[in-house]
Amino acid sequence: MAMTVHCDIVSAEEEIFSGLIEFVSVTGSLGDLGIYPGHAPLLSELKPGPVELKKQGGEQEIFYVSGGFIEVQPHRVSVLADVALRAGDINEAAAEEAKKHAEHTMADQSSELDYSRATAQLAEAAAQLRTIQQIRKKMGK
């Protein structure tokens, strides 16, 4: 039997996952992180993107986080996010529309504040679409 660690994924509104995992992959502020049981303690900021879990027994599940933090302790991994969704709950059409809107706002450049906000919206929409693509790749579609 594979070694496991307890993992919690929590948004500002609710806990969306709590259970034993064999592996978790996230996008940290300095790049991708892969965490196995027994990993050294770690605290890192998360960028918007997919969180991939390999649950006890080998089943994989993918979530989307809008950013946040990951805390790794010897027997627990905690992912704290403003927004966390099961990847299957992401609305692809809405993400595409948000991406187009952000690109249009960036091209307009009416103010620096609008440009900064549009850049953040573009990063979030692109991360949601990347999460959807990752699911399709896993499913062989």
pLDDT digits (tens, 9 = 90+) for 57-108: 999 998 989 889 999 999 999 999 988 888 776 666 776 777 777 777 777 7
What pLDDT is stored for residue 129 in this prediction? 74
Q: Give the DSSP H/E element, type plus range, for residue 73.
A: strand 68-73
Backbone angles phi, psi at 24, to 5 degrees: -140, 140
Q: pTM to 2 decimals?
A: 0.72
Mean pLDDT in residue range 12-19: 93
Which backbone phi and psi does 139 adopt, to 5 degrees? Answer: -85, -5
**Which is more confidently placed, 105 or 6?**
6
- How far is residue 107's CA from residue 104's CA, in Å, rounded to a whole number? 5
Residues 6+ apart with CB under 8 A from 125: 95, 96, 98, 99, 102
